[in-house]
Amino acid sequence: MPTTLADIITLLEGRYDPAWAESWDAVGLVCGDPYAAVNRVLFAVDPVTAVVDEAVDWRADLIVTHHPLLLRPVHGVPATTPKGRAVHRLITAGIALYTAHTNADVADPGVSDALARAVGLTGPLRPLSPSADDPSRGLGRVGELPVPVTLREFTEATAKGLPATAAGLRVAGDPEAPVRTVAVCGGAGDSLLGTAQAAGADVYLTADLRHHPASEFREDGGTALVDAAHWATEWPWLGDAASLVRQTGVETRISTVVTDAWTFRSHEGSS
Which pLDDT score, from 0 to 100, does residue 46 have? 98
pTM (whole model) above 0.75: yes
User: Sheet harboring 251-254: ordered strands across?
Assistant: 28-31, 96-99, 62-65, 40-44, 251-254
Q: Please state, rounded to an integer, the average pLDDT across all residues of the chain.
A: 96
Which pLDDT score, from 0 to 100, does residue 175 have? 98
Residue type, 242: A
The pLDDT tens digits for 184-237 are 999 999 999 999 999 999 999 999 999 999 999 999 999 999 999 999 999 999
CA proximity to 196, closest of 104, 268, 129: 129
Which pLDDT score, from 0 to 100, does residue 201 have? 98
Exposure string of 92-116, with b = 16+ CB inside 10 Å and e = fewer, is eeebbbbbbbbbbbbbbbbbbbbbb
Assign residue 199 a region: left if phi > 0, alpha if psi is -120 to 50, beta otherwise?
A: alpha
